[in-house]
Structure 1
Amino acid sequence: MSIYVDADACPVKAEVEKVGTRHGVKMFIVSNGGLRPSQNPLVETVIVPDGPDIADMWIADRATTGDVVITGDIPLAAKCVEAGARVLKHNGEALTQANIGNILATRDLMADIRAADPFRQGGGKAFSKSDKSRFLDALERELRATKRA
């Protein structure tokens, strides 16, 4: 069992390290760079070359059944779910076989809507303390469930 973190713009890297360390799980923090490597022996910082979706491809090529992937990238999540990995968004929402199709379709629809309205401003809601709390709880549950499986 390993934890893979799509670390570019990930607000829960420290939380993943805390929970992963408590469970003794190997963690891969994957990004294009700009991250301070952890001194934790369970954490491997993986720096991939610049380019679109290179970090995503690195994770997708390795994540499999028994692994947990942390990402906000829905196409990456879909690939990992298909490979049998458990996937969590930064707010603790689990992405599964049961919901990934609808989430992917909604993402594509929203991208089309944003592209059609060049004057649309704003983005998603800000990451909150309650999101962090839900994430910690969800990660703990996923790691326990993975160990039982």
Structure 2
Amino acid sequence: MKIWVDADACPVAVREIICRAANRTETPATFVANHFIRIPPSKFLSMRQVSSGFDVADDEIVQSVEAGDIVISSDIPLAAEALEKGAIVITSRGERYTLDNIKPRLNMRDFMETMRSSGVQTGGPPALSQADRQAFANQLDRLLAQKS
């Protein structure tokens, strides 16, 4: 089992939780981004910088992920592709995407994108709360506990 992080939009607090969990459980974690991400030195942590461009980091994750790996991303199309490959996908708020719930998410995402392109202001997600961080840490711990 490996952890793959869509690091371009990953909050710093979540990145720190991932680093601690990866080191504690000796699980390799790779942060993929199109800009440099600072991570602590560790044999379990790596940073893979990809070229700039639309979905380049997502494509790198999809190409590299294997069944049973954990993908951390709120990107719904990336989540759908990772799920198809047998990966486990959680968001930085600790929500788990599954084959059962991803299709309605894709539909809602497409609908909201259509709304935005027609000029409707939809706003973004709320700031990451302490409860969100705790939910993420708990979900990640549960998944990593299953590997042993």
Q: Which residue of 2 aligns with 1:9?
A: 9
Q: Secondary structure at 2:9's aligned position in 1?
A: coil
| CA distance, structure 1, for counterparts of residue 64 and residue 36 of structure 2 | 22
Q: Aligned-pair distance for 1:2? A: 0.4
Q: Which runs of 4+ in 1 moved over 4 A?
A: none
Q: Which residue of 1 aligns with 2:64?
A: 62
Q: Aligned-pair distance for 1:135? A: 0.2
Counterparts of 1:1-149 in structure 2 under 5 Å?
Answer: 1-11=1-11, 12-118=14-120, 120=121, 122-145=123-146, 147=147
Please tell me whether the aligned partners of residues 8 and 32 of structure 1 are also in contact (alpha carbons under 8 angstroms).
Answer: yes
Number of paired residues? 146
Please tell me whether the aligned partners of residues 34 and 52 of structure 2 are also in contact (alpha carbons under 8 angstroms).
Answer: yes
- The code of the aligned residue for 1:60 comes to V
| CA distance, structure 2, for counterparts of residue 100 and residue 142 of structure 1 | 19
- The code of the aligned residue for 1:29 comes to F
Q: Secondary structure at 1:64's aligned position in 2?
A: coil
Comparing 86-95 with 98-107, greater Cα deviation is found at 98-107
With normalisation by structure 2, the TM-score equals: 0.93
Please tell me whether the aligned partners of residues 4 and 63 of structure 1 are also in contact (alpha carbons under 8 angstroms).
Answer: yes
Q: Aligned-pair distance for 1:122? A: 3.0
Q: Secondary structure at 1:8's aligned position in 2?
A: helix
Please tell me whether the aligned partners of residues 21 and 42 of structure 1 are also in contact (alpha carbons under 8 angstroms).
Answer: yes
- The code of the aligned residue for 2:46 comes to E
- The code of the aligned residue for 1:101 comes to K
- The code of the aligned residue for 2:9 comes to A
**Percentage of matched positions with identical amino acids:** 37
For residues 73-121 of structure 1, the C-alpha deviation after alignment (integer angstroms, 9 at most, x for no partner) is: 1100000000000000010000011111111111111111122225x26
| CA distance, structure 2, for counterparts of residue 21 and residue 69 of structure 1 | 17
Please tell me whether the aligned partners of residues 28 and 45 of structure 2 are also in contact (alpha carbons under 8 angstroms).
Answer: yes
| CA distance, structure 1, for counterparts of residue 54 and residue 68 of structure 2 | 27
Q: Secondary structure at 1:125's aligned position in 2?
A: coil
Please tell me whether the aligned partners of residues 116 and 122 of structure 2 are also in contact (alpha carbons under 8 angstroms).
Answer: no
| CA distance, structure 1, for counterparts of residue 131 and residue 2 of structure 2 | 25
Structure 1 residues without counterparts, runs of 5 or longer: none
| CA distance, structure 2, for counterparts of residue 50 and residue 124 of structure 1 | 24
Comparing 45-54 with 35-44, greater Cα deviation is found at 35-44
Q: Pairwise CA RMSD of aligned residues?
A: 1.3
Q: Aligned-pair distance for 1:9? A: 2.0
